[in-house]
Structure 1
Amino acid sequence: MLLAAAGLPTAVLAQQATPLFASEAPIQITIRGPINSIARSSERSTAAQPATMLLAGTDESYAIQLSPRGISRRRKEVCQFPPLRVDLTAPPAATSLFAGQRRLKLVTHCRSSQGFQQHTMLEYLSYRLFNLVTPMSFRARLATVNYLEPDGRIVTTRTGFFIEDIDDVAGRNGSSRARVGDRIASAQLDPKQAARVALFQYMIGNLDWSMRAGPQGAGCCHNSRLLTRAGSAFMPVPYDFDHSGLVDAPYATPPEIFRINSVRTRVYQGYCRHNDAALAAAVEFRSLRPAIEGEVARLPGLDDRTRRKAQAYLAGFFAEVATDQTLQSRVLKKCMG
């Protein structure tokens, strides 16, 4: 009933990925604009400012509107440098790397220390790992960003990454964005996708999300988007993994409702009605273990200590889901009703 009310199309054909997200190769860009002003005022204002973005190694230059975004990472006690929204003021040429892009999220370095660059890389890794689990996921593109003031003064050069737009995720998967209110019932979720999401979030130790509810007035869902196909249930697509145990950012604290002391402590948030689907999803995760571990081993920019820590954390997950018996006893028995 809710699907019909959403006014969904009867069929959506799958599309190819846009050029920016068709490759994993890191890119280098320069953003020239009032960078320091945007960073200083980000906590009190999300106003957009005119800027320019240039792609290294090409003659591609784009007029953009640059603005701070996000909630917690705009607060000064969390980040000195906010996440950014990049709005292209004119459609890029069809031959451009940014063809098809209009509005992009750019995850930034938060703070200037090398340690925070490690956290950025681990959040990027989280997106890459979920890409291995399912194409129903946000793609990300790593970028070295040179930030310049309008007069050309260098502010900083740091690694960040762009996140694919949800409509492009939908297009790749022959689906469309679901239009719902602040909350849906767990029975309205696609069991396979919901189970994959729940196990993935458990794997990376993330508790800062929901696949069926969002803040009042903000729509569903918290750090997730819902997609659907004609006549299908809702398929959650998660994002924002900086509060996960895998990333282990210094500012990350577990929600009080869980009564745990560290984001490194895993808590399963899957629904009991999806336990059969979770058993099937665990088979997928086990088969993906070599690919997941390979992704961690190959990721550029991680120092040895961070890489070993990430590998050990993921190994703990695979020990818990090693068999159906361990999955049932250590994970699924704690499912939500």
Structure 2
Amino acid sequence: MKFNRITMRFTLLLFILWAQTSLPAQESTRLTLFEKLYHLDSIRLTLTYPYDSLTKSNNNEIDALISIESTSGSLVTNQPLTLNLRGKFRRMKCNFPPLLLNFKKSMLKSLDLKNVDEMKLVTHCINGEEGQLNLQEERMMYQVYESITPMSYRTIWVTVYYCDQNHPAVCDTSAGFLLEPDGDITNRLGVCEKKIFNPQEDSLLFESYGHAAAFNFLIGNRDWSVIGARNAKLFFDKAIGKYIVIPYDFDFSNVVGASYRRETLPKTMLHPYDRIYQGEYFKDKAGQILKSFYLFRDSVINTVNTAVNPMGEERRNQIRKYFEKWFDMVKKNKPGGLMYDCVCPYTGGL
């Protein structure tokens, strides 16, 4: 009898140890919703809500229903979620606001997905062809940066049907793209997002900062700042004790050239499509940063040419030539001539 009790206790102990080790392993193998969608094709989102609530309401949160389909079939149908309206500037200037999709934890659990329940949906700002082209252009910038480094936001192109709750057959259709949640980046890279202003230079991973600074120079984007925590997020990597920099929001870049963009030009810029290097950190290493980034030339050009994106051939060619002129400028100059505030003049074609 005593032997049986010892055996039972030992068996119970083994079971507890197994449960403690197997649950984290099971959790690590589960996907997030973004990861699930990232491997699907031709994704269609249907959002059903009170029709005027996104554009004519002061509410920041709208109750809605979502359906998600792809070429693999239906993932969810008419599941409740909350639409959070983002972007104060965009809400003032645009026909349509950017959205944060806040999914119900119960829905994620029913799909056996990890509990990363918020996802940004980048929407059209302007109605019509211009708004759709701007989406293609900005998404292309994310695709180019992703081809350079894994320390980047991944994106998913989607078709969105915006439907009237009171008349479900009345829907507007637009393209858009989903932005990888910060929780997914944490899982993928083993880092943790930190909201800080004006970090010390020696706290930044030089390589990742250099990539972000050179890339924003390449695409003609001045709407970013690590010091001001604007359109560049910091993720702390415990393994190396440094912050990595991941840029985002490229709609104010010259490549997108959004008609709602309003900027004051520095004195050294003669044309709005001139490009200026404004890396706030490692200023004494600007030449090294830009020369190192030149090594990505072939990858950048190849992505513009071949990335899965509905963008037409003519627009791809214009962007490719705009990038090639920048790479030619970097190649032609010695590191000492590539300094903070150096300008790559616009010569047309974009």
TM-score by length of 2: 0.78
- Say which of 295, 301, 305 aligns to 2:310: 301
Could you tell me whether the CA contact under 8 Å between 2:290 and 2:330 is conserved in 1? no
Alignment-derived partner of residue 240 in structure 1 = 249
The number of residues matched between the two structures is 306
The alpha-carbon deviation at position 260 of structure 1 amounts to 4.0
SS in structure 1 opposite 2:278?
coil
Identify the residue that residue 334 of structure 1 maps to in structure 2. 341
Deviation at 1:305, TM superposition (A): 3.5
Task: Give CA deviations for 1:304-336 in whole Å, capped at 9, x if unaligned.
Answer: 43222212221122112226x44542x33537x
SS at match of 1:245: coil
Superposed CA offset, 1:215-241 (max 9, x none): xxxxxx111111112262222211111
Match of 1:310 in 2: 319
Q: State the match for 2:19 in structure 1.
A: none
Paired position in structure 1 for 2:7: none
Query: Partner residue of 2:152?
Result: 137
Q: What does residue 270 of structure 1 align with?
A: 279
Cα distance, 1:64 vs. partner? Answer: 0.7
Among 24, 30, 38, which residue is 2:54 paired with?
A: 38
State which of 165, 168, 174 in structure 1 corresponds to 2:190.
174
Aligned-pair CA distance for 1:25: 4.0
Contact 2:140 2:309 in 1 (8 A): no
Q: Quick check: 1:320–1:326 contact (8 Å CA) kept in 2? A: no
* Corresponding residue SS for 2:242: coil
- Which residue of 2 is the match for residue 49 of structure 1? 62
Where do residues 100-111 of structure 1 align in structure 2 (5 Å cutoff)? 100-111=115-126
Letter of the 2:84 counterpart: S
Q: CA deviation at 1:106?
A: 0.6
Any idea what SS the aligned residue of 2:251 has? coil
Does the C-alpha gap of structure 1 residues 95 and 203 become closer, same or farther in structure 2, counting only changes over 3 Å?
Answer: farther
| Counterpart amino acid of residue 252 in structure 2 | H
Query: In the alignment, what sits opposite 1:65?
Result: 82
| Structure 1: segments with no counterpart, 5+ residues | 1-14, 214-220
**Aligned residue in 1 for 2:20:** none
* 8 A Cα contact 1:192 1:281, kept in partner: no
- Counterpart Cα distance in 2 of 1:114 and 1:197: 30
Alignment partner, residue 8 of structure 1 = none
Larger RCO (alpha carbons 8 Å, 6+ apart)? 1
- Residue among 212, 222, 246 paired with 2:230: 222
Q: What's the offset of the Cα at 1:277?
A: 7.7
State the match for 1:4 in structure 2: none
Measured against aligned partners, the alpha-carbon deviations of 1:69-90 in whole angstroms (never above 9, x if no partner) come to 1122111xx2101111111123
Query: 1:83: which partner in 2?
Result: 98
What's the CA shift for 1:293?
1.9
Could you say which structure has the larger radius of gyration? 2
SS class of match (2:120): strand
Change (3 A) 1:20 1:260: same
Q: Could you report, residue by residue, the CA deviation over 1:50-79 in whole angstroms, capped at 9, with x for unpaired residues?
A: 11111123151331111321122111xx21
What is the root-mean-square deviation of aligned Cα atoms in Å? Answer: 2.8
Give me the identity figure in percent.
Answer: 25
Contact 1:206–1:244 (CA<8 Å) still a contact in 2?
yes
Shift of 1:207: 0.3
Please, which moves more after superposition, 63-72 or 290-299? 290-299
Q: Show CA shifts across 1:264-314 (max 9, x none).
A: 22110124636548626643x434333322222234321343222212221
Corresponding residue for residue 294 of structure 2: 286
Shift of 1:194: 0.9
Distance 1:171 1:146, change over 3 A: same
| Letter of the 1:69 counterpart | R
Cα contact 1:88–1:102 (8 A) shared by 2: yes
Residue identity matched to 1:168: D
C-alpha deviation, 1:171, in angstroms: 2.3
Change in CA separation of 1:179 and 1:211 when aligned onto 2, cut-off 3 Å: closer
State the distance in 2 between where 1:268 and 1:122 align: 21
Mapped partners of 2:140, 2:112: distance in 1: 22
The structure-2 alpha-carbon separation of the partners of 1:177 and 1:333, relative to structure 1 and needing over 3 Å to count, comes to closer
In structure 2, the residue matched to 1:5 is none
Separation (CA, whole Å) in 1 of partners of 2:112 and 2:172: 24
